[in-house]
Chains A and B, each alone.
Chain A
Amino acid sequence: MEQINLLLEGFSHALTPMNLLWVLLGALLGTAVGVLPGLGSAMAVALLLPITFSLDPTAAFIMFAGVYYGGLFGDSTSGILLNTPGNSSAIASTFEGHRMARSGLAAKALATAAVGAFIGGLLATTVVVFFAPTLVKLATAFGPAEYFALAVFAFLAISSVVSDSIIKGLAALAIGLVFALVGVDGPSGTIRYTLGLPQLFDGISIVVITVGLLALGEVLHIASRIHRDPDAVKIKPSGRPRLHRHDIKKALPAWLRGTAFGLPFGIIPAGGSEVPTFLAYGTEKRLAKRRGDIEFGQMGSIRGVAAPEAAANATAGTAMGALLALGLPTSATAAIMIAAFQQYGMQPGPLLFERSGPMVWTLLASLFIGLVILLILNMQFAVLWAKLLLVPRHYLYAGITVLSVLGVYAISAAILDLWILLGVGLLGFVMRRYEIPLAPVLIAVILGPLAETELRRALTVSEGDIGILVSSPITIVLYSILVITVAFTAWKHIRSRKQTEAESASASELTSV
């Protein structure tokens, strides 16, 4: 098999001391931001972007991938111990994980989560290694209409799935598209939406937008809540995280089921791992009910931790595949990594495998190395990581604020960028306040220019005939999947809304009696 040779070659490049150091750094940083509630891998990669200009691209991406995976390893730690998930991807594993911790099984829950993340990531990365070349071959057949369909698919899928309301998702998407329009229009050379400011001719830097939305926006959000929300109660884990054979026997099917949920969601732009983790959790819950498992929901079930954790990391694995082979970002972190590729003048997609083959395979090999490092870091030192939660939050967020302005200033030493940062930060705050998802903004900023160029190219070729957009089998398949996805989520939203209405109606009846 050709892939195995390429991968082995990748390993030979990845196993140099310097590259191992980058993997380790990424893993450490990723776990740290994962453990800390409110910080995530997307914010970490965004803050790292400007600092990595002086690194060579391979080193930078090895580190980013470590951060991405690491964030999904670390996020369950604070969820289990504090009942505050480090990230939205760990909400589902927090339910049972924290129950286990309260029943004195914190160490076991941490170990289950770490092994689950490892298995999910390992299987997903293996799938990517074997299927990436197929995806690449498929993508080389893509023309303008197909790329436009892909972008539309990403736009609508992310807006409808991530948020509790499709309208809010679309609002975020539209805001992102406006950001993407600023600057000189490539094909015609027309200056658009710059208010005459020459600094904006190249568009608003993606670093400014991501750092503003994810880092400064989060700081402002925390500022609005920090004197309001009560502190969480922390549970001290005792004993070393270790799994006995009967634990493994119990958790293994759940790990595999979780992975199966996660794998497809890495390729669908559904905003990362939130949806598959909940699907995995829901399945375990139903299975436990059928089995008559009394642990689930009471003492805390090991399966309820295992499945969502595996699902989360499986998503991250296949998301890397979609990112590298198609250039399709399926989560916020993946979107920022595409921005990073663009900073280096590379465009992820079929051409990347051709032109920078060694780098891609080195990156894939270091994903495997990173998973092993992360497993060790999170199994053996979970208790140490939990100590990070002792860092006073005011210093943490003060540091993030300073790093935000540093990162933005470092791009081009422009004061204007800092003012835009403040504006985008305020926007990020307002969006968080009203629960408008941020991921669609990032996807729109990344894919907006692509969508516009390909749409115009397709219509130029067809001389204005819109029929070209649905003229090939690939586009028809993409649009059909899209229609099904949107219809399904709309149906789900309506159903859950009816449910809450019924619940609140019965609740108000109770109070009025």
Chain B
Amino acid sequence: MSTQTPDAVKAGGSQPSISPTQASEPNRFWAGRSELIVPALVLALAGFLTWQTATMQVLGSSVPGPQFFPTIVCVLLYAVVIAHTVQILRSPRGLDESTSESDQNAGHTMYSDWKTVGMVVGGVAGFILLLPVAGWIISAAALFWVVARALGSKRALFDVSIAVLFSSVIQLAFNAGLGLNLPSGFLEGLL
């Protein structure tokens, strides 16, 4: 069996309906089973593919047509969802040889650092929104600064200069050297 204690497994198996926040010991069921998000994602993908394949406006009359291969992929997706779900439910994380060691002390080390991930994702999203308005130099520098900050840089002012230097060098190299245009935003004309 897994490296979890037996009673944790029993509790998780018999009371799957308890939501993780309400349980007196939270994360009992979800500990080792958060991986269920993967089959959930694949299921969503399979649903999308099924719906789109069924409603596809097929051009031409070739046989096998454009829906043939996607149908095979759909079947594969559903099969994977079922097999993966069963695998996760039967043996929560820890059974695989590669993870068993780190699961022995499954304290905080196993949990992802959502704050840092969120900062990086936010930084990239911010960059995409900012790019058409502020241009490459400012938005790329901001992205660099945010990611460096999120990953633990302490020297905020020094980072600003590195970030601006980095994005400016790229802008120069691209516009002058490779002939590709990066948007310069409202700085246009000044540069």
Q: How far is the CB of B120 from chain A (nearest CB, A)?
A: 5
Q: How far is the CB of B178 from chain A (nearest CB, A)?
A: 5
Interface residues on A, range: 35 or more
Do A165 and B87 have beta carbons less than 8 Å apart?
Answer: yes
**A181, B48: Cα distance in complex, Å:** 12
State which of A395, A397, A504 has its C-beta within 8 Å of the C-beta of B3.
A504
Among the listed stretches A102-110, A198-206, A456-464, which one makes contact with chain B, having 4 or more residues with CB under 8 Å of it? A456-464
B interface: dominant SS: helix
**A187, B98: Cα distance in complex, Å:** 44
Do B95 and A419 have beta carbons less than 8 Å apart?
Answer: no
Do B170 and A406 have beta carbons less than 8 Å apart?
Answer: yes
Contacts of B112 in A (CB 8 A): 224-225, 433
State which of A188, A402, A426 has its C-beta within 8 Å of the C-beta of B166.
A402
Do B147 and A394 have beta carbons less than 8 Å apart?
Answer: yes
Q: Which residue of chain A lies nearest to B170 when distances are taken between CB atoms in the complex?
A: A406
Contacts of A477 in B (CB 8 A): none
**A410, B48: Cα distance in complex, Å:** 30
State which of A51, A398, A406 has its C-beta within 8 Å of the C-beta of B148.
A398
Contacts of B39 in A (CB 8 A): 171
B113 at the interface (CB under 8 A from A): yes
A418 at the interface (CB under 8 A from B): yes
Q: CB-defined interface of A421-433 with B at 8 Å, one 1/0 digit per residue?
A: 1100111011101
Q: CB-defined interface of B145-177 with A at 8 Å, one 1/0 digit per residue?
A: 101111111000000001100110010001000
Do A504 and B124 have beta carbons less than 8 Å apart?
Answer: no
Do A435 and B147 have beta carbons less than 8 Å apart?
Answer: no
Q: How far is the CB of A224 from chain B (nearest CB, A)?
A: 4
Counting chain B CB atoms within 10 Å of each CB, the highest count among A175, A402, A422 belongs to A402
Do B120 and A220 have beta carbons less than 8 Å apart?
Answer: yes
Q: How far is the CB of A501 from chain B (nearest CB, A)?
A: 7
Contacts of B64 in A (CB 8 A): 455-456, 459-460, 464
**A216, B125: Cα distance in complex, Å:** 12
Q: CB-defined interface of A393-429 with B at 8 Å, one 1/0 digit per residue?
A: 1110111011001100110010100110110011101
Contacts of A394 in B (CB 8 A): 147-153
Among the listed stretches A189-197, A279-287, A298-306, A353-361, which one makes contact with chain B, having 4 or more residues with CB under 8 Å of it? A189-197
Do A167 and B80 have beta carbons less than 8 Å apart?
Answer: yes
B180 at the interface (CB under 8 A from A): yes
A452 at the interface (CB under 8 A from B): yes
With A190-B56, A395-B148, A401-B143 known as contacts, the answer to whether A219 contacts B1 (CB < 8 A) is no
Contacts of A178 in B (CB 8 A): 45, 49, 73, 77
Contacts of B21 in A (CB 8 A): none
Contacts of B52 in A (CB 8 A): 192-193
B60 at the interface (CB under 8 A from A): yes
Do A497 and B95 have beta carbons less than 8 Å apart?
Answer: yes
Contacts of B80 in A (CB 8 A): 167, 170-171, 174
Do A168 and B148 have beta carbons less than 8 Å apart?
Answer: no
Counting chain A CB atoms within 10 Å of each CB, the highest count among B66, B79, B127, B143 belongs to B66
**A409, B127: Cα distance in complex, Å:** 12
B8 at the interface (CB under 8 A from A): no
State which of B37, B83, B147 has its C-beta within 8 Å of the C-beta of A430.
B37
Q: What residues make up the interface of B, taking CB atoms closer than 8 Å to A? A: 1-3, 35, 37-39, 41-42, 45, 48-49, 52, 56-60, 62-66, 68-70, 73, 76-77, 79-80, 83-84, 87, 95-100, 108-109, 111-114, 116-117, 119-121, 123-125, 127-128, 131-132, 140, 143-145, 147-153, 162-163, 166-167, 170, 174, 178-183
Closest 3 CB pairs of A and B: A394-B151, A224-B112, A188-B60
Q: List 20 A-B contacts (CB under 8 A).
A: A174-B45, A177-B73, A188-B60, A190-B60, A193-B49, A219-B147, A223-B117, A223-B119, A227-B116, A393-B152, A398-B144, A398-B153, A402-B144, A405-B140, A406-B182, A409-B131, A433-B112, A455-B68, A460-B64, A505-B1
